[in-house]
A and B are shown apart, each in its own frame.
Chain A
């Protein structure tokens, strides 16, 4: 081994604790990068394999009732590879020990068992026997939520008739990776589940023999979904088609992709933060080392080493540190990635998980951090290499200190003056240390702020905008009189109708599939709620549109939007946008219910009724609702809110805890390095003070006071940076589904500061212990 390499390795070993602290920061960046990239890969890869293995369809359509004969015509469409026709209906389920209404989505299975599209991934048991009328396969999350297993029984009201069903299998399906009930956004596996049955009993129950009400189409490789959708719409139109849509708009898939996109944002912003700090730190550490090594550099030059050889020698030093960080980051990233993928697997249900991060993920992370470390090193190394050898061998010129003109210094003791002059003598370096600690605060603020944002979202969406206790939905439009009959059920205090119709809204060249909801002009229960202004009163005509939908359609107030209704008589309406409102979830559009019914021209109807109920009469009401026919969903607001907290909020919490670990690593790494550098540089001063009779506590003040001061400066800096970082994250995290409100509570700043202070204190104490080993005698024999 070359002598220089041996020297480099010994140098690294000599300052191993500092190297480790810096490597920890690099490792944090690498770990976040590996974690998010590998999770993205794992989710994407798992979904791809799942879809392929279980033949998830590419185009989907709902229809009122289409004859089975139509299937052959669809199969003949160019680009179509396979077609599956089904009956999908909802039924009220009764599960022992669970009193609230439970809605099951019944999905018919093809006669030729588990072939064709959208195959089931059986987890337990078997598929229903052909001809068996009471056998059912339950979706795994639903079965898990109720503790249902094979041979368990449940009762269902299928199209008004009681039927007892036997569980023969538990399964997952590529169609229901993310399972939510109609009109909800968060899975509630207790109150909504999928049940697969043989096609014969379902066709019979819903009077759909020889017919279907749902069709899925698998496409040949390279075929365009748009042309198939267009042809399919034309074919289904006479039978009450609700408008075909591509996989990209399929509910479960859409949610999954939404999540992957959010992860992608995370994989960009956070590692950049960590790697930038790592670059700063490399710069400081190496700069410091090169100052100490000045004489050696001069000596090497005097021996005839070329500038490039010396530069390369010190760059290798940076690379060794980066390598340690990369290695640690790879390990942590792999572990975190695996557990984060598992967290997602609770949310998105797959029959298998492919967590096999490829070399690409590790390579990207390694290259990015290596680049950051080298970037940090280059400036210091260049400065050192440029010194003429004679000058390099002399000690550096003593730093010039200045007395501050400020009168306040008169009241300060000498150690405090030393401390303040050190900070002001090297403002750049002090700033970098402050910035590093500040970044830890910033990462914490921006991570923890999601909790505030989610809380505010829940408050606005579930508390302020919604005042109903239950929402009863029907599979098809019902007469307005249904509201009155629901109002007469036991325990119902007040009711409010709503009609939602599937539409395709067009403005210019832009088009969105969206439900249009008709509600009373003044709503008491489900309120059209602007995030800032509160509840809105609807004008008698025209569209009241969420700003999100308006953005997607590029529509402004006064613009006319073409609304193609996808059900009933399928009229196409031209409606002006009369008002906009801001909402955090979804992209809804509302209209006054009377005006909507008039425009649809079918004499007035509703699809849901919101109820306020007396909790004391709740059980009686639930029993009555179970007996009420045609209900497709009964949603409880409190259960939805609970579900929201259990799933989304908990998932966020898990990720936040990863980031808290990373931020602590950052704070410890920065502080430890800064304190160790200060100790190395000021050991001479500190020992002199000890000789003069200063106690350890007093000397610690000089060493750690600087860190404390810089930490103090870092806190407001970090809070401000955290605010900005949160703002950037925020902008990047806006999706079609969520626009989490921007909210940072004082307690979030407080908590971030406390965590950072704790990490900083830990690092400071580690360095403080070294004061006990100051060599007083040696220090007096050397010139500073």
Chain B
């Protein structure tokens, strides 16, 4: 289904994840093959429970596979120890989650600083926030920000380290469409300006129109791969 290209940032072969054993075993992934080229923006589309979050978690070094291989450049993720995975996340991966996962006791600026403080070559904290359109309200706590603003802080936090890989798991899932579009625009802009390899998980087919390539998942496998003839800018989307 997918071919391994030389400039691929991330690839997986026969990736399998089984939760539980025996009769209670749940097959979340049933042998996924995948390759992402450097600088690509890919949407992973599928209904909830199809295994897309599991796949993203394994690719992001948050979870381990039961079988199969996953590679980040020439590092085999599936062979990494706990500490190596931590290192991998710290140095190479930016995450954006549905529920933002901001520290309630830190301001917007400080939430971003949380990452810039431990990253190797981060951008300036303010710059990251400006990239997502949050030049102001830097000193507000999450509870004082709207959902969209919180998600943009989360994006700023994810990209401030200049990651090679940006993984977004339903970043608009908790937002209304208008606010969601603002968030998508931010992701689009980051991708354009930084050229970060980006994977965006969604169950919303409309969002898929903003990328070149769409991978459709169902029941633990990638069932379809599409290429959009034309990438629609996020601001033209509507749902």
Q: Which 3 pairs across A and B sit closest by C-beta, in order of nearness?
A: A693-B90, A421-B105, A693-B89
Q: Residues of B within 8 Å of A, CB-based: how many?
A: 35
- A780 pairs with B99, CB closer than 8 A: yes
Residues of B70-122 at the interface with A, using a CB-CB cut-off of 8 Å, are 83, 86-87, 89-91, 93, 95, 97-99, 101, 103-107, 110-111, 113-115, 117-118
A237 at the interface (CB under 8 A from B): no
Docked CA distance A688–B97 (Å):
10
B63 at the interface (CB under 8 A from A): yes
A425 at the interface (CB under 8 A from B): yes
Q: Which residues of B contact A777 (CB under 8 A)?
A: 53, 57, 62-63
B169 at the interface (CB under 8 A from A): yes
**How many residue pairs bridge A and B at CB < 8 Å?**
91
Q: Which residues of A contact B111 (CB under 8 A)?
A: 414
Docked CA distance A141–B27 (Å):
79
A422 at the interface (CB under 8 A from B): yes
Docked CA distance A685–B99 (Å):
12
Can you report 10 A-B residue pairs in the complex whose CB atoms are below 8 A from each other? A401-B105, A414-B111, A417-B105, A418-B103, A685-B104, A693-B118, A777-B53, A777-B57, A780-B62, A781-B98
A692 at the interface (CB under 8 A from B): yes
- A693 pairs with B86, CB closer than 8 A: yes
Q: Which residues of A contact B115 (CB under 8 A)?
A: 692-693
Minimum CB–CB distance from A42 to chain B (whole Å) comes to 55
Chain B 146-177: CB-based contact to A (< 8 A → 1; otherwise 0): 00000000000100000000000100001000
- B110 pairs with A414, CB closer than 8 A: yes
Chain A 389-429: CB-based contact to B (< 8 A → 1; otherwise 0): 00000000011110100000000011101100110010000
- B101 pairs with A398, CB closer than 8 A: no
Please list the residues of chain A having a beta carbon within 8 angstroms of any beta carbon in chain B.
Answer: 398-401, 403, 413-415, 417-418, 421-422, 425, 684-685, 688-696, 698, 776-777, 779-784
Q: Which residues of B contact A690 (CB under 8 A)?
A: 86
Docked CA distance A696–B83 (Å):
8
Given contacts A418-B106, A693-B91, A694-B90, contact A688 B143 (CB under 8 A): no
- B114 pairs with A695, CB closer than 8 A: no
Minimum CB–CB distance from B169 to chain A (whole Å) comes to 7
Residues of B105-141 at the interface with A, using a CB-CB cut-off of 8 Å, are 105-107, 110-111, 113-115, 117-118, 139, 141
Minimum CB–CB distance from B23 to chain A (whole Å) comes to 22
Please list the residues of chain B having a beta carbon within 8 angstroms of any beta carbon in chain A.
Answer: 53, 57, 62-63, 83, 86-87, 89-91, 93, 95, 97-99, 101, 103-107, 110-111, 113-115, 117-118, 139, 141-143, 157, 169, 174
Minimum CB–CB distance from A773 to chain B (whole Å) comes to 11
- A399 pairs with B104, CB closer than 8 A: yes
- A401 pairs with B104, CB closer than 8 A: yes
- B106 pairs with A691, CB closer than 8 A: no
Minimum CB–CB distance from A762 to chain B (whole Å) comes to 24
Nearest residue, chain B, Cβ from A689: B114
Given contacts A693-B87, A784-B104, contact A776 B62 (CB under 8 A): yes
Docked CA distance A584–B118 (Å):
63
Q: Which residues of B contact A782 (CB under 8 A)?
A: 99
Q: Which residues of A contact B97 (CB under 8 A)?
A: 780
Q: Chain B CB within 10 Å — which of A692, A696, A781 has the most?
A: A692
Nearest residue, chain A, Cβ from B101: A688
Contact of B63 among A399, A403, A698, A776 (CB under 8 A): A776
Q: Which residues of A contact B142 (CB under 8 A)?
A: 398
In addition to A692-B95, A692-B115, 9 A-B residue pairs with Cβ atoms within 8 Å of each other are A398-B104, A401-B105, A421-B106, A688-B103, A691-B95, A694-B86, A780-B99, A780-B169, A783-B174
Nearest residue, chain A, Cβ from B140: A403
Docked CA distance A659–B93 (Å):
53
Nearest residue, chain A, Cβ from B158: A692
Nearest residue, chain B, Cβ from A693: B90
- B113 pairs with A414, CB closer than 8 A: yes
Q: Which residues of A contact B89 (CB under 8 A)?
A: 691-693
- B106 pairs with A414, CB closer than 8 A: yes
Given contacts A398-B143, A776-B62, A780-B97, contact A694 B103 (CB under 8 A): no
- B114 pairs with A414, CB closer than 8 A: yes
Q: Which residues of B contact A779 (CB under 8 A)?
A: 101
Minimum CB–CB distance from B163 to chain A (whole Å) comes to 10
